[in-house]
Chains A and B, each alone.
Chain A
Amino acid sequence: MEIIAQRPKSLTDLQFTYCPGCTHGISHRLIAEAIEELGLRNNIMGVAPVGCSVFAYKFFNCDMAEAAHGRAPAVATGMKRARPDMHVFTYQGDGDLAAIGTAEFIHAANRGEKISIFFINNAIYGMTGGQMAPTTLPGMKTSTSPYGRDEKDIGYPIQACEIISSLKAPYFIERVSLLSPQDILKAKKVVNKAMLFNKENRGFTFVEFVSTCPTNWGLTPAKAQQWAKENMLKFFPIGNFRDKSMEGGE
């Protein structure tokens, strides 16, 4: 019998421990497929965050480091500078990247580190049980914004792609969504592109995934997808922010 679909070898055969309906599984798989399709499995290293995906090392079948909360881009910088022949990516959530790790993220982007950062934005802290994230939407109730996020008081959601788009060094910046099969197919192309640029050592590549957290949003997976489409995409529009391969003279 012909096998038409199977798990990429860049994923271990463990069952994901993420909650039902969580999009981490999809983003894991997209990254693993890109690693596989570009033949990078034996020369790529990843850095996991602190947060739900702290356990990413269990699922990616390559050498992995779990950095202290927010420090993945700094650790990845060291790995890449020490082993320029290897390829390095980080996988970070919104608390890890856009709160505690803001400095490391922005400065890695500004140095144009030749690494890929995959950023999971689901607008909430999942691992600690549903607190406000830097990307939490205005009005959104969480356990630490019990009366709803008041943007006049605590600011608007941080838009990571837009922030680093003001920097000159990043090579590729794009926001994708995991909210429908069509979006996931588009996201796959974007992840592959970022990973290709990583393979070719072109520069800093960044992909943000608009994701869901059904458990801490208190919604079913299907309703979470719908809610995210209606609300998240307004603040986090999908699209390309930077692609230097398309620019003249590059």
Chain B
Amino acid sequence: MRNKKLMQGNQAVAEAALIAGVKVCAGYPITPSTETIEILARKLPSYGGRFIQMEDELASIGTIIGASAAGKKAITATSGPGFSLMQELLGYAAMVELPIVIYNAQRVGPSTGGATKPQQGDIMQSKWGSHGESPRIVIYPSSVRECFDMTIEAFNLAEKYMVPVVLFSDEILAHMRESVELPEAGEIKIINRRKDAKPQNKYLPYDIDESEIPVLPPLGEGYRYNISGMIHAENGIPNLAPDVIEACITRINSKLDKYYDDIVRVEQIKNDKAKIAVLAYGVVTRPARGAIEKAKKNGIEVELIRPITLWPFPEREIGEVAERVDKIIVVEMNLGQVAIMVRASVEGKAEVIQFNKICSRSITVDEIYNKIKEHV
């Protein structure tokens, strides 16, 4: 028997963070994510790391950005109300191009909402919650094992592309226990940020090579450079000349474009005979798979497309599905946040039908199946 354990999503995130090489976790207790910081508070010291309980979530994200600037991998864990508070510095991290991972176990919102109930209400906020326009990568597992794998992936993407990564779960996934077989340490690929900065006398932090990704040596190593949330030129120094503003905002927002294929992942059950596709993501993928199976048993062919990556949005893959099917049923535990993006991606090539459930109960196989039947 390999490394098999019964664990909940929050625990899988914490265990993976340790393997990914996290040295700093800063956080504030909030249901339903608290177990993640509790585990890291207990375990990080033996991994040469630190948990720091902060006074709120603004300070929590500030601390992990500082740790990242100093060269360490860092994570915070939160839920809706805390994620809202983090938006200021999430935009900052994207602007200065420092890798951090924010784990958001979504609960019912808006506002204090419902701490112990699930929702998928933070999808748009994860991309657009900060003022202005800035990049981030957002990924959403659907099982406890995926919570583990995608925490590793979150750090790899953050470090590789020098960008904040939001790792989603929800109250169901956060607290659901599954038996998971964890990979051996040697089987896990860990990516660390580039260290090949030019020599100090030729170094400018945002003088970027063809990779589009900056090389930022840890502050404190003597490079004497500046990072700033203000619009900055290649030297990192604030500069509000119109051409600098244009170049700065354009570059940070387009730097991930050439890496679309490396970053964006979807899960698909393709079916040439299908006229209907179901689009679901996160924990809702589970009943969606079941509904498609049930439909097949009843002679209805249905495709599945699941955005594993929510931002950048998998518009190409969804556009391809729309070429094949007549209808895409978008199943979400919110009022239709991803449906907006699906409509934009299919450009009228398929009818987009929404199935939204926000009462906090999980969406069932039968609910999705019945929606499919309505549209056969």
Contact = CB atoms under 8 A, between A and B. Distances in A.
A68 interface: yes
Contacts of B41: 143-146
B29 A125 contact: yes
Contact of A102 (B28, B29, B38, B55): B55
B112 A50 contact: yes
A66 B30 CA distance: 17
Interface string B17-49: 000000000001111001001100110010000
Contacts of A147: 45
A125 B38 CA distance: 13
Nearest to B38: A143
Given A68-B81, A134-B55, A146-B41, A128 B112 contact: no
Interface size class, chain A: 20 to 34
Q: Which secondary structure dominates chain B's binding surface?
A: mixed
A130 to B, nearest CB: 9
Counting chain B CB atoms within 10 Å of each CB, which of A68, A131, A143, A144 scores highest? Answer: A144
Size range of the interface on B? 20 to 34
B112 A54 contact: yes
Contacts, number: 53
Nearest to A132: B53
A3 to B, nearest CB: 38
Contacts of A132: 53
B375 to A, nearest CB: 40
Interface in A139-197: 143-147, 154
A128 B45 contact: no
B112 A68 contact: yes
Contact of B37 (A68, A95, A144): A144
Contact of A99 (B28, B31, B45): B28
Contacts of A50: 81, 112
B111 interface: yes
A69 interface: yes
- The 3 closest A-B CB pairs, nearest first, are A100-B56, A131-B29, A128-B29
Interface of B: 28-31, 34, 37-38, 41-42, 45, 51-53, 55-57, 81, 111-112, 115
7 contacts: A50-B112, A70-B56, A131-B53, A143-B34, A144-B38, A145-B53, A154-B53
Given A99-B56, A100-B57, A127-B31, 19 more contacts: A50-B112, A54-B112, A68-B111, A69-B56, A99-B28, A100-B28, A128-B29, A128-B34, A129-B29, A129-B34, A131-B34, A131-B38, A132-B53, A143-B38, A144-B29, A144-B38, A145-B53, A146-B42, A147-B45
